[in-house]
Amino acid sequence: MPDSYSAPNPSAALYERVRHVIPAMEWRVFADDIDAILALKRARNAVILAHNYQTPEIFHGVADIVGDSLALAREAAKTDAAMIVLAGVHFMAETAKLLNPEKTVLIPDPGAGCSLVRAGCAHCPNGRRHCRRASPA
């Protein structure tokens, strides 16, 4: 299998940037979706913020800004885009919305949760209900 990718897709130019982390065979699977996402970003004046733990095709292929939750919150406050797509967990999207109340903030995976929050509740001596009462959001 060649270590290159060429196709008439806008994402073909991106492949050179990601070839060290995504094999050409896998890139072919993602290319059409990446092209669609790039087109939607342009059409909707959107920016994609991606947490460090995102998969390589998201992190390297479609994200405009990458980083940890604090860095993403800071960058969300600076963006001029009308729409923020936060590839991360709920609290990151909630923070972006708090900092940008006039903008649309989307989270691609509504089921994305934080394992640290779940683990904290599991270890809470009063159980999950106590954690929810203490922090109802």
User: pLDDT tens digit string along 59-69?
Assistant: 988 999 999 98
64-100 pLDDT, tens digit per residue, is: 999 998 898 888 889 999 999 999 888 888 888 999 9
pTM: 0.74
CA torsion angle 40 43 46 47 (round to 10): 70
